[in-house]
Structure 1
Amino acid sequence: MTSRTPPSGPRPTIRLFSRSSWPEARHLAEVLRTETVGGALLLAGAVIALLWANSPWSDSYTRLGEVVPWPGGARWHLDLDVATWAADGLLAIFFFVVGLELKREFVAGDLRDPRRAALPVAAALGGMLLPALIYLAVVLSAGGEGLRGWAIPTATDIAFALAVLAVVSSHLPQGLRAFLLTLAVVDDLFAITIIAIFYTADFQPVPLLAALAPIGLFAVLVQRGRTWWWALIPLAIAAWALMHASGVHATVAGVLLGFTVPVLARRTAGADRPVTDDPEPGSTGANDARAGEGGLAARLEHRWRPVSAGFAVPIFALFAAGVTLRGSDLGALLSDPIVIAIVASLVFGKSIGIFGSTYLLARFTRAELDEDITWADLLGIALLAGVGFTVSLLIGDLAFGAGSTADDRVKAAVLLGSVISAALAATVLVRRNAVYRRVAERERLDADGDGVPDVYQRPDGSAT
């Protein structure tokens, strides 16, 4: 028996930020359209909150957030005010969409391929660890007050970031846009894990175990393709309520429910073959992505993402971003250790963590940037990731308590750090806009008019 000698020659070059397949590009374009509109509404909600909270009618803003719509819900820990309902209730929709997107990425997206997943995962880790370390270093050097807020600057707000890109009219290449979205998805996974582990108060195991029942029933129904709203919505509400009663943040229920939804479309290959949600043996990622377009996760995401981006997150911003600055000592505010820690972590920690981890990955794997991408482009994206709004404000509430003095400082710091990060990112990215436009035109060119841009087609005419 003779052994076969492996083929000689140079190892294939790993391309960072390369263009993905056509099904992935179409999915990405749809997500970005929705999130960009949602980002504009989020900004509008935040601006209204700031103006209202600092107007002569600021008392009405505070009173509205303190209204308790269901005073009789104390038995189930549901006697919450409107502001808390916005954070715990509406954001569960946001995290349900996050769960759907995570499931899709792991089954049919970039996170399925370890080679492609390495980049956003490494970048997200660097963008989480370095901001946390900077925050801890600043707070410890000032006496240690506020250590519980270490996770505030670890999150990226994709809707806010996309709104910034829309304002500066940056036509980022598809590879960079895919990286930004996948980075944000992995970032959300880390954020929800941090919330579940480090920000669980008054843990009650019985309601947590009870929450597994409606989540399990929800999973059985969606796995069998049963999309009865009259059954799924009550089960989701029950899971949310039990999760909230357990002391674990209720938004975790949204992610778990999203994880249960099948990604790949059910299909029948023949009369003698069963209907299945599993991919065909030996199928490619591109084929799985095509199948995923018809899967239940894709349909639910298409239905609920506009609700999340267009309603849930903007309403949360309306109640969460209203920090009152009237009569405040701005000098004392800007010199506060918590404010300095958050701003420094968002502006420097995020950008250096993401840029540095990506550079090290390229250095040690001998990977090369795609031909349309430069390190300056990555710097712009890394700075843009310092826009941390929705999840950062949520963690701030959990860390210090809504309405506390520290919570007001957190809001001011998150807003300031996000605005600085956005301005720096816009400055870097706008310098390359002419190049981005040329790349975007090439990515849209469809000379044969078959509906698939030429850059996504193989020589035989089939889509990648």
Structure 2
Amino acid sequence: MPQISRHRVGRAVKKVPAEAIRFLRIETTGGILLLIAAALALIVANSPLAGFYDDVRHTDIGIDGVFTLNLQHWAADFLLAFFFLVVGLELKRELVVGELRDLKQAMLPVIAAAGGIIVPALIALAVAWGEAGATAVWPVPVATDIAFALAVLAICARGLPSSLRIFLLTLAIADDLGAIAMIAALYSRPEPLPLTAFVLIIAAWVLLQAKRVRGLWIYIPLGLAAWAALYEAGVHATLAGVAIGLATRVKPDPGEHESPATRAEHALQPFSAGVAVPVFAFFSAGVVLNGAALSAFASDRVALAVVAGLFLGKAIGVSVGAIAAHRLGWGRLAPGLRWGDIAGVAVLCGCGFTVSLLITELAFTDPVQQGLVKTGVLAGSALSAIVGGTILARRRPRPVEEPAA
């Protein structure tokens, strides 16, 4: 048997992390890991380990009297800041050099996103009207989970035009921007001094970027300080990620291979997709699904309002918004796209998941009602993924016409 050299073994060992990181950058990976984490949470929460699971996610960690949060809150407040940082970097790139740079070209998905925010909120409010949680539930179904939706699109829509992915990505980013604004407006009560400190930190970040200062030794402490300041200010600390993303330079200088935003997004995407979002999903998606809980869910109009908002509201709102933009001449379909493709994506936008779960935790403090609404998020997202994915899978790419002889 031939002896394997240490050099070859060393190279193989070093190759494993690189391959893992490359795997985490694949578009479908984040969505798949998200689904696995949510499924594990549901299995554990409905098993004999339920008590242990509940104890673990409510275990306090931190420096006593400074930042002491339980694991579920660390996942929602700190880890998701990395997810929102990636979103902020994507948004900055799209605004400066991407699809959102050309207002005319971006208007169709942006107006579709506006419809996908307004209509789900109205439907959720209408279904839950008269119930105690009606005024709290309407923001829950307004967001689209980028990772989840893009993963389903990549799996089910092979062969369809790449412009369909660009449409969904642009729509989801505009959609997330609306959800971020809602989180800031509805669930924040700012304290002036920490908020001022946060603004000064972001200003320092912008200045350092303008001066072309490099080095993680300064940006990592600044980022942590920004997160801490926003947390102390009473604003949901995940928004620090968005602010830092928008403050990062996105255009490369002459002779520069990649801009700081591109490098940061490339470095953070694996952690966001492989750790931050799955851990959040694991600690947030664990709801009880026994007979009594399902019976309560089926009779709870607030929880059913979320299902209706995600599944019906997104499908109607996105479709109507896109058609209105097209008919009014404010936007146009990209070459190769058909309205059936848009309809499939509109249904797929009902995959709310990550941001919807986050808003649920912010909007509902009663554990029982929170659990029912989370069940609605899971049900609405799953229904939208299945139906939207089926519609897109049944689509056939338009045959390319042969040029005339």
Q: State if a TM-score over 0.5 links the two structures.
A: yes
Matching residue of 2:215:
228
Alignment partner of 1:356 is 2:343 = no
Tell me, in whole angstroms, the C-alpha distance in 1 between the residues paired with 2:193 and 2:115.
36
- C-alpha spacing 1:221/1:366, structure 2 compared with 1 (3 Å): closer
Matching residue of 1:92:
81
Tell me, in whole angstroms, the C-alpha distance in 1 between the residues paired with 2:330 and 2:92.
30
More off after superposition, 125-134 vs 30-39: 30-39
User: Would the aligned equivalents of 1:196 and 1:248 in 2 still touch at CA under 8 Å?
Assistant: yes
Query: Which of residues 170, 183, 203 in structure 2 aligns to 1:216?
Result: 203
Alignment partner of 1:182 is 2:170 = yes
More off after superposition, 363-372 vs 40-49: 363-372
Alpha-carbon deviation of 1:221? 2.0
User: Would the aligned equivalents of 2:119 and 2:313 in 1 still touch at CA under 8 Å?
Assistant: yes
Matching residue of 1:334:
298
Tell me, in whole angstroms, the C-alpha distance in 2 between the residues paired with 1:350 and 1:157.
12
Cα RMSD (Å): 2.2
Alpha-carbon deviation of 1:338? 1.0
Alpha-carbon deviation of 1:54? 0.5
Alignment partner of 1:412 is 2:399 = no
Tell me, in whole angstroms, the C-alpha distance in 1 between the residues paired with 2:254 and 2:23.
25
* One-letter amino acid of the structure 1 residue matched with residue 185 of structure 2: I
Alpha-carbon deviation of 1:33? 5.4
Alpha-carbon deviation of 1:105? 0.8
Matching residue of 2:363:
399
Aligned to 2:60, the other structure's residue is in SS state coil
Query: Which of residues 15, 18, 26 in structure 2 aligns to 1:34?
Result: 26
* Alignment gaps of 5+ in structure 2: 1-21
User: Would the aligned equivalents of 1:34 and 1:309 in 2 still touch at CA under 8 Å?
Assistant: no
Greater CA radius of gyration, 1 or 2? 1
Tell me, in whole angstroms, the C-alpha distance in 1 between the residues paired with 2:187 and 2:334.
40
Matching residue of 2:156:
168
* One-letter amino acid of the structure 1 residue matched with residue 41 of structure 2: A
Determine what percentage of the aligned residue pairs are the same residue: 46
In the TM superposition, what are the counterparts of 1:420-459 in structure 2 within 5 Å? 420-432=383-395, 434-435=396-397
Alignment partner of 1:294 is 2:294 = no
Tell me, in whole angstroms, the C-alpha distance in 2 between the residues paired with 1:256 and 1:134.
31
Tell me, in whole angstroms, the C-alpha distance in 1 between the residues paired with 2:308 and 2:383.
10
Matching residue of 2:147:
159
In the TM superposition, what are the counterparts of 1:229-268 in structure 2 within 5 Å? 229-267=216-254
User: Would the aligned equivalents of 2:131 and 2:302 in 1 still touch at CA under 8 Å?
Assistant: no
Alpha-carbon deviation of 1:223? 2.6
Aligned to 1:328, the other structure's residue is in SS state helix
User: Would the aligned equivalents of 2:88 and 2:246 in 1 still touch at CA under 8 Å?
Assistant: yes
Tell me, in whole angstroms, the C-alpha distance in 2 between the residues paired with 1:230 and 1:356.
48
Tell me, in whole angstroms, the C-alpha distance in 2 between the residues paired with 1:197 and 1:151.
11
- C-alpha spacing 1:351/1:359, structure 2 compared with 1 (3 Å): same
More off after superposition, 214-223 vs 392-401: 214-223
Matching residue of 1:5:
none
Alpha-carbon deviation of 1:235? 0.8
Q: Deviations over 1:201-247 (max 9, x none)?
A: 4x311111111222222222223232311211111111101100111
- Structure 1 residue runs of 4+, over 4 Å off? 30-33
Matching residue of 1:288:
none
Aligned to 1:263, the other structure's residue is in SS state coil
Tell me, in whole angstroms, the C-alpha distance in 2 between the residues paired with 1:146 and 1:181.
30
Alpha-carbon deviation of 1:385? 0.4
Q: Deviations over 1:270-326 (max 9, x none)?
A: xxxxxxxxxxxxxxxxxxxxx8x7211111111111111111111110101000123
Alpha-carbon deviation of 1:368? 5.6
Matching residue of 1:379:
343
In the TM superposition, what are the counterparts of 1:76-91 in structure 2 within 5 Å? 76=66, 78-91=67-80
Alpha-carbon deviation of 1:346? 0.4
Equivalent residue pairs, number: 380
Q: Deviations over 1:93-122 (max 9, x none)?
A: 111111111111111011111111211210
Aligned to 2:68, the other structure's residue is in SS state coil
User: Would the aligned equivalents of 1:35 and 1:158 in 2 still touch at CA under 8 Å?
Assistant: no
* One-letter amino acid of the structure 2 residue matched with residue 178 of structure 1: I
User: Would the aligned equivalents of 1:223 and 1:261 in 2 still touch at CA under 8 Å?
Assistant: no
Matching residue of 1:133:
122
Aligned to 2:397, the other structure's residue is in SS state helix
User: Would the aligned equivalents of 1:36 and 1:159 in 2 still touch at CA under 8 Å?
Assistant: yes
* One-letter amino acid of the structure 1 residue matched with residue 264 of structure 2: L
* One-letter amino acid of the structure 1 residue matched with residue 204 of structure 2: L
Tell me, in whole angstroms, the C-alpha distance in 2 between the residues paired with 1:217 and 1:398.
30
Tell me, in whole angstroms, the C-alpha distance in 2 between the residues paired with 1:395 and 1:176.
28
* Alignment gaps of 5+ in structure 1: 1-29, 269-290, 443-464
Aligned to 1:226, the other structure's residue is in SS state coil
Query: Whose helix proportion is higher, 1 or 2?
Result: 2
